[in-house]
Structure 1
Amino acid sequence: MARILMKGNEALGEAAIRAGAKFYFGYPITPQNEVSAYMAERLPEVGGVFLQAESEVSAINMVYGAGGAGARVLITSSSPGISLMQEGISYIVGAEIPAVIVNVMRGGPGLGGIQPGQADYFQATRGGGHGDYFMVVLAPESIQEMVEIMQEAFDIADQYRNPVMILADGMMGQMMEAVDLDNIKKSDRKLPPKTWATTGMAHHQGKNIINSLELDPAKLEKHNLDLKKKYDEMAKNEVRYEMYKCDDADIIAVAFGTTARIVKNTMEMARREGIKMGLIRPISVWPFPQEPFDKTAAHAKAYISVEMNMGQMVEDVRLAVNGRRPVHFYGRTGGMIPDPRDILVEVKNILGGVR
């Protein structure tokens, strides 16, 4: 393997280029600014276009245009910037345009801080903008996994004609790890031709019109019902998760992204002390995985959702567990990172209460 040391923000940009992205639009915001800097230098080398827009609102509408023309297009930002893009993201979903959106999350609310956070979970998994819609939302735990997921994200977007969001965080964006960019597994998806794209009359018969406006309520309802069928297909086919030492676990932690890496340290500490602890790591946070909870609810005594927020994914965990076992929560917020030892204390307290 040809492994090189890269910062997370730069690696995600290179991965997007290798996945076929030729267009990047964005606006500066910490802690993801290195993506823009990298793409500004790298995209012209591959015949692509980098453009720093005058605002996040402008940038997301440029994504609408490039994606509507059939191009693979990337946009990245961080929490407040993603909030500004919500109207455009809803337009893109309504118009059925593929794109990849990366949120390198920071602490909030408001401008918050520039340290890592996971408080955008609700925004990402519940659509975020106005109207009924969903996106596949992927949450890697390492730079290598983020690189590999990038290829898959573009393929998912093209398959369903729907944007895909990748949730990273400030820690993943700023850390450096060795990554292999040359041996990324290509998917075997048979992607449909983009006959819908606005590529000019020479390439198709008739006019292609891309639009998210429909004033006839009956037609708009039919469009929403058609979109719902697509979301159902996503929910059926695009679930991803990891189970780690869950077979004999008395307590199972649930964590995503970089928090899952911290929890793995807690789990090893717990097992050294004779505490049987496991981990369910959702890789797709939408669609949220149900199966690992069905596999473990019969023997686990309790679950604990560990997050860098005040309690968001824990609601999906409770829905998945469906009252079969107690579900607890441990979180840090404001840019504070959970400490493995503090999580272990919480685990001991929980087990002390259920024994």
Structure 2
Amino acid sequence: MGEKVLMKGNEAIGEAAIKANCKAFFGYPITPQTEVAAYMSKKMPKIGRVFMQAESEIAAVNMVYGAAGTGVRCMTSSSSPGISLKAEGISYIAGAELPCVIINIVRGGPGLGSIQPAQSDYFQATKGGGHGDYRMPVFAPSSIQEMVDLIQDAFDVADMYKTPCMVMGDGMLGQMMEPVEFKERPKRNIPSKDDWAANGLHGRKEHHIINSLYLSPEVLEKHNEHLQEKFNEIEKNEVKYELFNCDRENDLILVAYGTTSRICKNVIDAAEKEGIKLGLVRPITLWPFPCEAFEKTIDKTKKGYLSVEMSCGQMVEDVKLVSAGRKPVDFYGRSGGMVPDPEDILKKVKDILGGDK
């Protein structure tokens, strides 16, 4: 066991990226993730790595495109409106098949919204965000320790599949402090980048060109078919989720991710004292969405599922999709930076169960 250190979430992100061998960071300040960039600005130059505060979010993501094209591990971070500005660049990166990690510490929206925590970027993260037929693995940690672990996973998955990966937390996770341990992670067999990276390797007989422009519709369709095959592989191999109290029959199963799932575990404890049995499905990858978790639990819930979110209802659509009408799906959410209250969630549970529990 390594030594645990007390760290703020945003700073732990930076340290985790450094330990994952991130060689270059490009960012732009925006609350509530600015400490990620601040941490990297102090640490990266001292260890001979690149930190660059770009002139805008658009510039930062295009710098990531360039650095990723050389084969080095690189990262950018932002919060909701900043990710919107990066969306075109993320689509370019996905189209050019370049590995990188994007951090989104979500704040309330739409528009400039607020600087308070939210989960209202779910659609943006999991349904594309940018243009074209692309997908992007999205990791949703519920603690700072898990965030540290998933950043290593995100870099590995990015390299394995030549794809951008997002680690999406909310403003609460970025700003809170918890003890974390920077553990040795299992090493994955990462393919060599020498056969595609534009890194000036000596002895090459041909130039490597990084591109996402295909003027021939036949060629672009073949490229899209290749990308879809890759996304299918990611769906098969990279799903992560937690089942809590789902090894029994429950009155209702909650579905929540990130810090909202921690609140839901408190709700489950409080409900147990009142004789109400609740379980929890916690997606850790928002895409690929853990459909398997619902196949495992569909027969273990009497009244179906309750999706609990810091949004007006986004993940609930995926819960309804995988439930496919077999069990009812309800929703409880708060928005604009308001955090769900355990008592209000329990009241919603009781309303759904009525007198029949």
Normalised-by-shorter TM-score class: over 0.9
Q: Which residue of 2 aligns with 1:213?
A: 213
TM-score after normalising by structure 2: 0.97
TM-score after normalising by structure 1: 0.98
1:1-355 maps to which residues of 2 (within 5 A)?
1-181=2-182, 183-187=183-187, 189-194=188-193, 195-202=195-202, 204-248=204-248, 249-301=250-302, 302-352=304-354
Q: CA deviation at 1:251?
A: 0.4
- Give the secondary-structure state (helix, strand or coil) at the position aligned to 1:116: coil
Q: CA deviation at 1:290?
A: 1.1
Q: CA deviation at 1:291?
A: 1.3
Q: CA deviation at 1:354?
A: 5.7
| CA 1:347–1:203: 2 relative to 1, 3 Å | farther
Q: Deviations along 1:16-74, whole A, 9 cap, x unmatched?
A: 00000010000110000101110000001221011000000000000000000001001
Q: Deviations along 1:56-110, whole A, 9 cap, x unmatched?
A: 0000000000000001001000000000000000000000000000100000000
- Give the secondary-structure state (helix, strand or coil) at the position aligned to 1:347: helix
Q: CA deviation at 1:127?
A: 1.2
- Is the 1:70–1:198 contact (alpha carbons within 8 Å) kept by the matching residues of 2? yes
Q: CA deviation at 1:273?
A: 1.1
Task: Supply the distance in 1 between the matched residues of 2:163 and 2:179 (Cα, whole angstroms).
Answer: 31
Task: Supply the distance in 1 between the matched residues of 2:203 and 2:144 (Cα, whole angstroms).
Answer: 39
Task: Tell me the amino acid that sits aligned with residue 189 of structure 2.
Answer: K
Task: Supply the distance in 1 between the matched residues of 2:241 and 2:32 (Cα, whole angstroms).
Answer: 26
| CA 1:217–1:267: 2 relative to 1, 3 Å | same
- Give the secondary-structure state (helix, strand or coil) at the position aligned to 1:85: helix
Task: Supply the distance in 1 between the matched residues of 2:70 and 2:355 (Cα, whole angstroms).
Answer: 58
- Is the 1:240–1:284 contact (alpha carbons within 8 Å) kept by the matching residues of 2? yes
- Give the secondary-structure state (helix, strand or coil) at the position aligned to 1:107: coil
- Give the secondary-structure state (helix, strand or coil) at the position aligned to 1:167: strand
| CA 1:35–1:88: 2 relative to 1, 3 Å | same
Q: CA deviation at 1:204?
A: 2.8
Q: CA deviation at 1:203?
A: 5.2
Q: CA deviation at 1:295?
A: 1.4
Task: Supply the distance in 1 between the matched residues of 2:27 and 2:326 (Cα, whole angstroms).
Answer: 45
Q: CA deviation at 1:227?
A: 0.3
**Alignment RMSD (CA, Å):** 1.0
Task: Supply the distance in 1 between the matched residues of 2:210 and 2:257 (Cα, whole angstroms).
Answer: 35
Task: Supply the distance in 2 between the matched residues of 1:255 and 1:153 (Cα, whole angstroms).
Answer: 21
Q: CA deviation at 1:216?
A: 0.4
- Is the 1:148–1:184 contact (alpha carbons within 8 Å) kept by the matching residues of 2? no
Task: Supply the distance in 2 between the matched residues of 1:326 and 1:291 (Cα, whole angstroms).
Answer: 18
Q: CA deviation at 1:311?
A: 0.2
- Is the 2:127–2:135 contact (alpha carbons within 8 Å) kept by the matching residues of 1? yes
- Bigger mean CA deviation after superposition, 279-288 or 204-213: 204-213
Task: Supply the distance in 2 between the matched residues of 1:264 and 1:227 (Cα, whole angstroms).
Answer: 38
| CA 1:34–1:216: 2 relative to 1, 3 Å | same
- Is the 2:254–2:278 contact (alpha carbons within 8 Å) kept by the matching residues of 1? yes
Task: Tell me the amino acid that sits aligned with residue 334 of structure 1.
Answer: G
- Is the 1:73–1:100 contact (alpha carbons within 8 Å) kept by the matching residues of 2? yes
Q: Deviations along 1:112-168, whole A, 9 cap, x unmatched?
A: 000000000000001110001001100000000000011111000000000000111
- Give the secondary-structure state (helix, strand or coil) at the position aligned to 2:300: coil
Task: Tell me the amino acid that sits aligned with residue 155 of structure 2.
Answer: F
Task: Supply the distance in 1 between the matched residues of 2:242 and 2:348 (Cα, whole angstroms).
Answer: 22
- Bigger mean CA deviation after superposition, 226-235 or 345-354: 345-354
- Is the 1:139–1:167 contact (alpha carbons within 8 Å) kept by the matching residues of 2? yes
Q: How many residue pairs were aligned?
A: 353
Task: Supply the distance in 1 between the matched residues of 2:204 and 2:124 (Cα, whole angstroms).
Answer: 38
